[in-house]
Structure 1
Amino acid sequence: MPADDPVTRDPAGATTRYLRVRDRTLLILTDSPGADGLVSETFFPPGMLGVHETGPAARPDLTVVDTAHDPATVAELLRRTAETAVRGEYELTRDYRQPRFDTEGRTVFVLRDQNSDEVAALIRTEGRITLVRPRSGLGDRWLTRIIRDAATRIAKAAGSLVLHSSAFCHEGGAYLVVGDSGAGKSTTAIALARLLPSAGWMGNDRMHLDRDPDGYGVTACPLPLAVNKGSLDVMGITDFGSWSVRAGFPPAGSDWDRFHGEDKLKLSSQEVSRNLGVRVVPQAPLAGVILPRVDPEAGYSFGPATPAHAAEVITRNCFSLDDNLYGEDWLRVPVGRPVPPSLDAFLEHLGKLPVLRATVGSAADVVRLAAAFAERVRA
């Protein structure tokens, strides 16, 4: 495949799969087994972010082609493009801008992770996205990132309300765990998923909510579970040293062993299922909300939240109002006319459901919370 024209044909020997995202079909082609495996591991189980494997479509709504090359090939593509194209900028992630190059019929975007100097390229043409990136573990991750970005934009266009929330499933219902960064959402959700009978873990950091005739359906976004050692301590987990983790453990000298450390252990949904022994549930009807606080210095508490407090926390953590991850729609995902979500309607619906506050600081407190929660929702 020539470096100066990588979108003229599909890569030889590529793995082909079709993904259905709500009412849109994506055709995915990759010549990297690592990238293909990461897509399977990330969108596990089927239904994460509304993504399902499906059969071939005569005219997919979007084709995404992932091609791995030597770094010199990527650099040469960008160099040649810069010689003839109009240079600009775009917002790859909120407040993180990178160069773009506009030519007739295509736009070339520079891809660079915030934590790495490795450079990749994305070429956007009509109905097609082509990734040209190095053969590396970081390069393998771009395909999953693009699929997740596309699925998120499709969901938002359909009217999904997106909350900064973890979630767990109990007796078939989804319980959102909503709070600010550091409040203990991840710890609370995974701890209750492990301790409650007939429970399951739904996901970390972002939940999509869609209105239906009976209330709201909750769909998990496949972001890794990010925990530090303090969270594992609170859950009473001590055997993590034997775990097999794709992303690896935080390196020596990191602060992951501090309770509120910035460096965290990241687990895919498959790794959560395997290492923590919990069932992963991608979708469930909304059954309630917990507003958590995890603090080893605080005493245990549990009870109903006031409507005013719940509205304040949820409004502050609504990504539909101010999304800290997604900036401009530089991918131009083909969607219909966007349907605006209603936070007010969601808050009104919460008046019919249990909305609870909880503070825990130890493994014993977590066990106590699980028993109290089960009793409360059973009443």
Structure 2
Amino acid sequence: MNVSALAETEPAGAITRYLLVRDQPLRVVTTSAEADGLVTETFWPPGMLGVSETSAVSEPPLTVIDLTRTPAGIEELLRAAEDTAVRGTYELTRHYRLPRYDGDGWTVFTLRDVNSDETAALIRTERTLTVVRPRTGLGDRWLTRVIRDVATRVAKAGGSLVLHSSAFVHDHGACLVIGDSGAGKSTTAIALARLLSGAGSGDEAGAGSRTGWMGNDRMHLDQPSDGDGYRVTACPLPLAINKGSLDVMGVTDFRSWSVRAGFPPPGSDWDRFQGEDKLKLSSQEVGRYLGVRVVPNAPLAAVLLPRVDLDAGYSFGPAAPDHTADVIKRNCFSLDDNLYGEDWLNVPVRRRTAPPSLDAFLEHLTKLRVLRCSVGSAADLARLADDFRDAVRR
């Protein structure tokens, strides 16, 4: 098999679209309607992680091609790479290393999800990333994953400060919900988005509301050119919640949902409040099934440090500066953090800017509402919505 020739292959009858990743164009080519649909569903609404549709570009700096092959064809590609190139390893995500093969003008990377034995590959050349994968549901996801990694690299090169956080929007301003894993960020953010918009009471998708849900687990913060405040942009990771979180929000009709990722299988612990197995909803599915408007970005207006604990009593009030600093420092992904592994895609960027310092960000928070809360029931969340609304109104 000729690896270079395969890297230059563009399938006949392909779907071609052009994306703008912040200010950088990206060309995407695939024959899979399922993979193309997943890209649309993930980067929705336009502007999620700074990604939106754009018109055709004659010389885009990077093209991503999505090819489907049989498992035997993928193994043949990997054998050909191994026979003609220098073998090494790379870090796909933190602490997860896979084989790579460095040839003359190309590198082949083995792709394998940490939870699956299904194998795919990616060929990297100077201007092209070619995904070679099986025609499966898992395979369809590699295109989205590569685009998300490209967008993240562009954002971080542009100076984004990345926080381990969820977020919702109220009165057009973003409220970061920051906390350690298991603190209840996702539950708190989506519950307040529903309740503050009225969607938790049966309104339709928060239509016309100044409130909405932004995203789950990771937010990018950028300073405008005038240096006035911060703008929050959501990373389109699925909302990962378990049945306990739905119970706390009073959501009972989930069995009727038709979700792309499916429900956790029998025997999983997703029905426990803090179970490890989660139901995963895309941003489109959040809007469809939880009835909230999804907002891709908004100016930073407040911070909430949550604790969701069925055995804890309700509390709400200002957060002490020392506590705020501790939580944020533990949950800040700096420019050098290898959350996404090494820059194996070698993403071309037009400029590199250092992110704002954490001290500068903490100093800015002294001008905003920084609150903390403890909730353990649907009644507590309803009370929190009222208290939050009153606190930011003052």
Q: Is the 8 A contact 2:161 2:335 kept in 1?
A: no
Structure-2-length-normalised TM-score: 0.94
Superposed CA offset, 1:119-149 (max 9, x none): 1010000111001111101110000000000
Q: Is the 8 A contact 2:4 2:106 kept in 1?
A: no
Given residue 222 of structure 2, which amino acid in structure 1 is its aligned partner? D
Superposed CA offset, 1:224-250 (max 9, x none): 000001101110111111111100000
Q: Does 1:265 align with 2:279?
A: yes
Q: Is the 8 A contact 1:201 1:280 kept in 2?
A: yes
- Correspondence for 2:95: 95
Identity of aligned residues (%): 73
1:58 shift after superposition: 1.4
- Following the alignment from structure 2 to structure 1, what is the Cα–Cα distance between the partners of residues 57 and 375? 50
- Following the alignment from structure 1 to structure 2, what is the Cα–Cα distance between the partners of residues 16 and 126? 20
Q: Is the 8 A contact 2:301 2:369 kept in 1?
A: yes
- Correspondence for 2:359: 344
Superposed, which structure 2 residues align to 1:160-199 within 5 Å? 160-197=160-197, 198=209, 199=211
- Following the alignment from structure 1 to structure 2, what is the Cα–Cα distance between the partners of residues 4 and 225? 38
Q: Which of 226, 229, 252 is matched with 1:215 structurally?
A: 229
Residue 194 of structure 2 aligns to a residue in which SS?
A: helix
Residue 215 of structure 1 aligns to a residue in which SS?
A: coil
Superposed CA offset, 1:183-242 (max 9, x none): 000000000000003310000000000012330000000000000011011101111111
Q: Which of 225, 241, 247 is matched with 2:261 structurally?
A: 247
Q: Is the 8 A contact 1:165 1:179 kept in 2?
A: yes
- Correspondence for 1:56: 56
Q: Which of 314, 318, 325 is matched with 2:339 structurally?
A: 325
Given residue 295 of structure 1, which amino acid in structure 2 is its aligned partner? D
- Following the alignment from structure 1 to structure 2, what is the Cα–Cα distance between the partners of residues 61 and 287? 36
- Correspondence for 1:44: 44
Superposed, which structure 2 residues align to 1:140-155 within 5 Å? 140-155=140-155
Segments of 5+ residues of structure 2 without an aligned counterpart are 198-208
Residue 306 of structure 2 aligns to a residue in which SS?
A: strand
1:5 shift after superposition: 3.2
1:7 shift after superposition: 1.6
Segments of 5+ residues of structure 1 without an aligned counterpart are none
Q: Is the 8 A contact 1:48 1:221 kept in 2?
A: yes
Q: Does 1:7 align with 2:7?
A: yes
Superposed, which structure 2 residues align to 1:226-237 within 5 Å? 226-237=240-251
Given residue 70 of structure 1, which amino acid in structure 2 is its aligned partner? T
Q: Is the 8 A contact 1:3 1:76 kept in 2?
A: no
Given residue 334 of structure 2, which amino acid in structure 1 is its aligned partner? S
Given residue 343 of structure 1, which amino acid in structure 2 is its aligned partner? L
- Correspondence for 1:369: 384
- Following the alignment from structure 1 to structure 2, what is the Cα–Cα distance between the partners of residues 309 and 279? 31
Question: Going by fraction, where is strand more abundant, 1 or 2?
Answer: 1
Q: Is the 8 A contact 2:156 2:335 kept in 1?
A: no
- Following the alignment from structure 2 to structure 1, what is the Cα–Cα distance between the partners of residues 257 and 107? 42
Q: Give the superposed CA RMSD.
A: 1.3
- Following the alignment from structure 1 to structure 2, what is the Cα–Cα distance between the partners of residues 168 and 150? 25
Superposed, which structure 2 residues align to 1:85-164 within 5 Å? 85-164=85-164
Superposed CA offset, 1:140-178 (max 9, x none): 000000000000000000000000000000010000000
1:321 shift after superposition: 5.9
Q: Does 1:205 align with 2:214?
A: no
- Correspondence for 2:312: 298
